[in-house]
Amino acid sequence: MKIVGLMSGTSYDGVDVVAAEFTLDGETLALRPLGHHSLDYDDGLRAQIAALLPPAGTTIEAVCRLDNRLGEVFAEAAAVGVELAGGAADAVVSPGQTVFHWVEQGRACGTLQLGAPARVAERVRVPVLSDLRSADVAAGGQGAPLVPVFDALLLDAAVGPRAALNLGGIANLTVVAPGVPVLGYDVGPANALLDAAARRLLGRPCDLDGARAAAGRVHLGLLDLLLAEPYYAAPPPKSTGKELFHAGYLDDRLAALAEPVAPDDVLATLTELTARTVAAECDRHRVTEVIAAGGGVRNPTLLGRLAALGAGRWRLRVTDELGIPAQAKEAYAFALLGWLSWHGLPGAVPSVTGARRAAVLGSWTPAGPPHDRTPATPPRRLVVAV
């Protein structure tokens, strides 16, 4: 079965697209990567998304316009994915762009992803799976993270405690260990605050290669304020996003200081924040190896600091060593979720999300399985039976 997977994360800089072929042999599912590609959002679309995200206010009109604009972009990405699959695919997984994740007192109450899946289905003419988080939220879960099901199948827990780390807008961690349930949760900001600082202080979408952070020095006063965030001390299951870690959040911490902080020092401090919070969780679970993916692995300053903090306790690797390109890992994970949903299998892990049960994820557009219920002859009229 060939599945196209799409992914647009909390950094909202573009969409990653992959194609994968899945073959089941007994209890082993083989994933053959068929290729990956990235489509960057233009400045106008990024501005549309930023204008709608918390803490900004918005209108229903703006939501509708963005939903359909994103649908057009995802449709283009899906078409690229079908080409990667050799010109034909069985399904597309288009999880959409998260614009709000509603969490109150540690409980997820709702979640909203935009991306007009009907536009994707119209373009590629195969079933499209979307809205992957809502079923888990309805079952009492956080609706995130969803990648741990991929990590749990890929990493061999028998080897010893190991962690899979994703460094996207948010840093999330999956921990597998012998004889215990899979654990996974959002640790805190990775690129979310770094990119917000780069936009605010440098007028750039990001600190390319972490160069400005490498030139700066950690400001201990700012770091202490950032580390005082209550989210870090909250026990899992937990999830977060830009409804908490946004530009205004950073502005408030900077305003609380008695003196201004140089831009390079702000970036160095935010890099240290991510490295310390991630390393603390890896130490807490006593992992021996951390396998990283996501856009953050392209930041050598961040990756180098993580490696230094883990030296002598855990080894840092990237998923490329396992055959999965680090930038494309989440898109491949969503392709796997599509395979599971197609076969009526749950995609969320209750020990990760806190749900009451393991839910089959997503909604199919225009029509997904089971195909065997399609009538041989479609109805041509309707009668009312009394």
SS3 109: strand
Place of tokens 């499209």: 128
Report CA 87 to chain centroid distance, whole Å.
27
- For residues 329 and 147, give the distance between their C-alpha atoms in angstroms, rounded to a whole number: 9
Q: Which two tokens stand for residue 80?
A: 């690229």
167, 329 contact by CB (below 8 A): no
CA nearest to 275, candidates 213, 185, 333? 213
- For residues 344 and 271, give the distance between their C-alpha atoms in angstroms, rounded to a whole number: 41
Q: What is the pLDDT of residues 64-88, one digit of tens each?
A: 999 999 999 999 999 999 999 999 9
Residue segments in the chain with a per-residue pLDDT below the cut of 50: none
pLDDT at 61: 97
β 97-104/107-114 pair status: antiparallel
Alpha carbon of 329 to those of 7, 127, 244, 365: distances in Å?
9, 22, 25, 24
Domains of the chain: 2-143+329-373 (3.30.420.40), 148-327 (3.30.420.40)
Residue 172's DSSP bridge partners are 166, 186
Is the alpha carbon torsion for 281, 210, 253, 172 positive or negative?
A: negative
E strand or H helix at 16, and its extent?
strand 14-25
CA nearest to 310, candidates 193, 162, 195? 162
Residue 289's DSSP bridge partners are 162, 315
CA nearest to 327, candidates 33, 21, 61? 33
- Taking only Cα atoms into account, the Rg of the chain, rounded to an integer number of angstroms, comes to 21
245, 293 contact by CB (below 8 A): no
pLDDT at 183: 96
